[in-house]
Amino acid sequence: MIDSTDQKVPHTCPPEGVVGWRSPSNIALIKYWGKQPQREQLPANPSLSFTLSHAFTDMWLYWSKRTQADDPIELKLYFEGRPADNFRKRIYDFMLRLLPEMPFLGEYAITIHTRNSFPHSAGIASSASAMSALALCLVEWKYRCRRAVFDLHQHYREVSNLARRASGSACRSVVPQVALWGAHPNVSEASDSYAIPLAKAYRDFAELWKDLILIVDQSPKSISSSQGHALMESHPYAATRYQQATEHLSVLLKAMKEGDVETFGRVVEAEALTLHALMMCSPTPYLLIKPQTLEVIDAIQNWRRTRDLPMYFTLDAGPNVHLLYPQAYEAEIWEFLATALPTFYRNPSRYLADEVGHGPQPLEAQDA
Ligand code: PMV
C-alpha cells in the first residue's frame, strides 16, 4: 500500500548500506491476463498462484555517496556478475517513477547485484522473482532510512503493492505457499493492489504440491506479457473471460478447502488452455505454445487416464509445461517422465523440479 505519509517522513538514510533478498517465482493457477485500462497494473480479474521454492532471484542493493550528478538516478546493475543494460533500464525507469515517493533513490549511488537460480535462457519467467526481490530491497531500504524495523510478515502488503507496480504477477511472490491477488466477491480482504495469503486449510493443500517445469523451448517469446495484456483491452471475449476467472476462482477455492484434487486439476487445466485460447483468438492472433507443448500435455493426460494419477498441467505465457502433482506421487512422476517423455528425463537442463515454498528470505551481504 502506498503510505500517504511517505513524503512527510524525513529520510535520513545511513550514508551507505546494503539490503539483500531471495525471492521466488510463482505459478498462476487462475491466470491474470488483462489489466484495468489506465490504472497502474491493476488486474482485470482475480488470480491465484502457488509460490515456488527453487526458482528464485537473489538480489543485493548497495547504496553509497553519489559520484556523478548527471542522471536523476545513479544506478549500476550487474546480472550474474556482468552489466545488464536492458534489465538496468527497466529498473531505472521504475525507480524514476518512484522518485516522488522515494526521494532517497535520487540521493545515493545505487549498485544492484542479482542472479537467478535457474538458467537465464531456460524460458522460465524471471520477472516475478526479480521484481519482487527489487520491491523487497526498496521497501527495506526505506525502513532503514526511517530507522524503523522492516518485518516482511507485517509489511507484506506494502511490498506486494510495490512489486505489482513493477510487474503484476510479482506481487504474488511475496506471499508464502499460495497467494490471491485481485478483488473477489467471496474473499473480503482480497485487493486489486496487493496479494494476500489464504487461511490454513488452503496453505495446507498447497504445501502438498510439486511443480516439475518441463522446458519445451527457450527462445525469446514473440509477444511479451505486456503486449498480451494490452491485446485483452480490445479482445472480443474479454468480459466473459474476466467473469469466468472469478467463477473459476470460487470453484478452485472450494476444491482446495475440501481437498477435492480432481476438481482442482480440472480448473487448473481449463485456466491454462483458456489463457492460450485467448491468445489464439485475440484481435491480433498469436501462438506461444509449440508442437511439443501439445505432445507433453497429451502425455500427461494419457498417463493420468491410464494410471489414475493426480497429475495436471498448467502453462504460463509461453511454451513450457508445469506438471503439478502431490508430493506423495514423486516416484510415479519420475517413472512417467522416464517412460513417456524420455528426452526430458535424459536431459536435466530440460526440466526444473520445484515445489511449493515459503516465500522470500533475507540475504546476508557476504553471500553476494
Ligand atoms: O505479471 P506479468 O505481466 O508478467 O503477467 C503474467 C501473466 C501470466 O503469467 C500468464 C499469468 C499470471 O497470472 O501469472
**Ligand 1 atom with minimal separation from the 128 CA:** 1
Element containing residue 323 per DSSP (H, E): strand 321-326
- Alpha-carbon distances, residue 142 vs 73, 81, 327 (angstroms): 16, 26, 39
**Are the C-beta atoms of residues 43 and 196 closer than 8 Å to each other?**
no
Query: Which pLDDT score, from 0 to 100, does residue 189 have?
Result: 97
Whole-angstrom distance, CA of residue 191 vs CA of residue 180: 9
Alpha-carbon span 113 to 117, nearest angstrom: 14
Nearest-angstrom CA–CA distance, 311 and 160 = 30
Query: pLDDT at position 2, please?
Result: 44
Q: What pLDDT score does 130 carry?
A: 97
- Residue 269 host element (H or E): helix 261-280
Beta bridge partners of residue 48, listed in sequence order:
30, 180
d(Cα 194, Cα 164) in Å, to the nearest integer? 7
Locate 80 and state its grid cell.
Answer: 550474474
171 Cα to the center of ligand 1, angstroms = 11
CA 99 vs. chain centroid, Å, equals 24
Among 225, 241, 273, say which to mutate for ligand 1: greatest number of ligand atoms within 8 Å of CB.
225
Q: Is the CB of 167 under 6 A from ligand 1?
A: yes
Nearest to 66 by CA among 100, 15, 23: 15
If one residue of 23, 25, 27, 31 were mutated to test the ligand 1 pocket, choosing by the most ligand atoms within 8 A of its CB, it would be 31
CB of residue 28 inside a 6 A radius of ligand 1: yes
Closest ligand 1 atom to residue 127 Cα is: 4
Q: How many whole angstroms from 253 Cα to the centroid of ligand 1?
A: 20
Q: Note the pTM of the prediction, 2 decimals.
A: 0.95
Q: What pLDDT score was predicted for residue 122?
A: 62
CB of 113 within 8 A of CB of 59? yes
Pairing of strands 74-79, 108-116: parallel
Question: By the 8 A CB rule, do 217 and 319 touch?
Answer: yes
Strand-pairing partners, residue 178, are 50
Nearest atom in ligand 1 to the alpha carbon of residue 167 is 1
Residue 317 beta carbon below 6 angstroms from any ligand 1 atom:
yes
In short, whether 177's Cβ falls inside 6 Å of ligand 1 is no
Q: Indicate if ligand 1 lies below 6 Å from the C-beta of 31.
A: yes
Query: For residue 310, what are the contacts with CB-CB under 8 A and spacing of at least 6?
Result: 261, 262, 265, 304, 325, 326, 329
Give the mean pLDDT per block of 10 residues along the chain (368 residues). 48 91 98 93 97 97 94 96 96 98 96 90 79 98 95 96 97 98 97 98 98 92 91 97 98 98 98 98 96 98 98 96 98 98 96 97 84
Q: Among 196, 219, 185, which residue's Cα sits nearest to residue 290?
A: 219
Between the CA of 108 and the centroid of ligand 1 the distance, in Å, is: 32
CA distance 164 to 179: 13
Does residue 45 have its Cβ closer than 6 Å to ligand 1?
A: no
Nearest CA, atom 4, ligand 1: 225
Q: Residue 12 is placed in which grid cell? A: 535520513
Residue keyed to cell 491493476: 42
CA distance 299 to 297: 5
Specify the pLDDT at position 338. 98
Q: Quote the ligand 1 centre to 144 CA distance (angstroms).
A: 31
Ligand 1 atom at minimal distance to the Cα of residue 47: 13
Dihedral (CA of 248, 251, 256, 262) sign: negative
Q: Is the CB of 126 under 6 A from ligand 1?
A: no
